[in-house]
Chain A
Amino acid sequence: MSDLSVSHLLGIKNLTTEDIHLIFKTAEQFKEVINRPIKKVPSLRDITVANLFFENSTRTRLSFEIAEKRLSADVVNFSAAQSSVKKGETLIDTVNNILAMKVDMVVMRHSHPGAAHFLSQHVDASIINAGDGAHEHPTQALLDAFSMQSALQSDIKGAKVAIIGDILHSRVALSNIFCLQKLGAEVMVCGPQTLIPKHMPEMGVLVETNVDKALAWADVANMLRVQHERMNLPYFPTLREYVTHYGVTMERLEALPKVPVIMHPGPINRGVEITSEVADSKHSIILQQVENGVAIRMAVLYLLAAKRTMNFTA
């Protein structure tokens, strides 16, 4: 069986369809592992992973950390808020200092697009991109597609997926589009015109500004958060107006002939992009996404570690 075609997970764009299927297949087995009475395997016991978070994260960081620990890796955590980055240290210096402590893999989130790519060219460790600015968030896209597959109980080839909300500021949207297209799904983005990047039709993505039409079309609706912290311009008049036009409510869903599977990468702004009622309804698979996140990250870590052949001669 062939292994991954890449040595780093920088983005979905660099993966082949076979890579994605291999990750899913491996994640299936890890999903069984994390449901055992003892949820740990020794595969990565000789690997040290550094989680470098230059930007805030709860869920992704926790999910990576649990995945690493379930694989028996040694884990070191770093967050920019309490580090020398604040004193003016460069990214390469920070990372090289950490690598001098013999770290094999780096999971990094950074606010600059391309930060993970840059790092992969300058340091000798396997890099996993845990989000770089508004560019990519590959593990989120993988776990989203993996969750869709189990929710639809079929291959997602030909499935209709609508990504609804703030597309412009979302790395999840871009990675999702790449991933879903590689797997043969039809992708639509939906949101206020101001929050949809211009290049969407060129990428073969359908654009819809009416959320009811998007929901009626879709088999799966992936709801994205309105990223207030990245909005330095007024993209829509008021939050209330956004909620009125784009917030998914139970009434909206009940008016549909067929309710799509509802997904959300978190954190949810309850009452903005979806109401609590929808988030906690039987249509939502938000918590399954979180569970699958650990399995997918275990698979990615395991498959990338497999590329680092042990060397006893040095």
Chain B
Amino acid sequence: MITSKTVLLFLEMTQKRLFGSEELQVILNRLCCRLIESHGDFSQTVLIGLQPRGVALTEVIAGLLQKNYQCPSVKTGALDVTFFRDDFRRRDELIKANRTELHTPIEGKKIVLIDDVLYTGRTLRSALDALQAFGRPSKTELLVLIDRRFSRELPIQPDYVGRHVDSMATERVRLDWLGNGQLDSVSLIQGPAA
């Protein structure tokens, strides 16, 4: 008989918690310090989150920079890459387009693209294309919370990494968010690659 206890046991078996909220705070603060090292007061920098999951992370990082590190002029944006993807008409299901919100000019600026998980690198390739429609940044960098190593399909590497994770293609990284927009934990679960 399947009870809730067996379901929980099954979940524990198929789900590996990578780190919880305390460790996450350490990682996020480290990422902020690394950003400050390269970008100073952020007057020439725009942090751009990739839709859908990089945007919330961008807000968290921008919030930390403002609150803990007195960087009031952090500018953020959200970029959707759906129309630039290389798998259009190659997938069974339709990918939903999200909103692009880029209200600050990026011409000549330093851009930090932010996403939760770096896996094949294909989304990032699309993002580099999508970004061109808004101008020519002087420099573009990449920040990811989780870098799934050894799974890249394109020559793309991050500049700032929260944590390197070794995972299988059958696994998926899941970020759990609290209701207040704060990250709670990161886990590795069984399931198709996102």
Do A and B interact? yes
What residues of chain A lie closer than 8 Å to B84, measured between beta carbons? 41-43
Query: Quick check: is B153 within 8 A (CB to CB) of the other chain?
Result: no
What residues of chain B lie closer than 8 Å to A309, measured between beta carbons? 89-90, 92
Q: Are B133 and A3 in contact, CB atoms less than 8 angstroms apart?
A: no
Q: Are A306 and B135 in contact, CB atoms less than 8 angstroms apart?
A: no
By beta carbon, the residue of chain B nearest A44 is B88
CB distance from A296 to the nearest CB of B (A): 14
Query: Quick check: is B129 within 8 A (CB to CB) of the other chain?
Result: yes
Known contacts A38-B133, A306-B89; A2/B94 CB under 8 A? yes
Q: Tell me if A's interface is mostly helix, strand, loop or mixed.
A: loop
Q: Are A38 and B132 in contact, CB atoms less than 8 angstroms apart?
A: yes
Q: Are A33 and B83 in contact, CB atoms less than 8 angstroms apart?
A: yes
Q: Are A310 and B82 in contact, CB atoms less than 8 angstroms apart?
A: no
Query: Quick check: is A100 within 8 A (CB to CB) of the other chain?
Result: no
What residues of chain A lie closer than 8 Å to B92, measured between beta carbons? 309
Q: Are B99 and A32 in contact, CB atoms less than 8 angstroms apart?
A: yes
What residues of chain A lie closer than 8 Å to B83, measured between beta carbons? 29, 33, 41-43, 71, 302
What residues of chain B lie closer than 8 Å to A42, measured between beta carbons? 83-84, 129
Contact-size category for A: 20 to 34
Q: Which of A1, A28, A33 contacts B94 (CB 8 A)?
A: A1
CA distance A212 to B92 in the complex (A): 52
Q: Are A306 and B133 in contact, CB atoms less than 8 angstroms apart?
A: no
A interface, CB within 8 angstroms of B? 1-3, 25-26, 28-29, 32-33, 36-43, 46, 71, 302-303, 305-306, 308-310
Pairs A–B under 8 Å by Cβ, sample size 25:
A2-B93, A25-B97, A26-B97, A29-B80, A29-B83, A29-B99, A32-B100, A33-B133, A36-B133, A37-B135, A38-B132, A38-B134, A39-B133, A41-B130, A41-B133, A71-B83, A302-B83, A303-B94, A305-B89, A306-B89, A306-B94, A308-B89, A309-B89, A309-B90, A309-B92
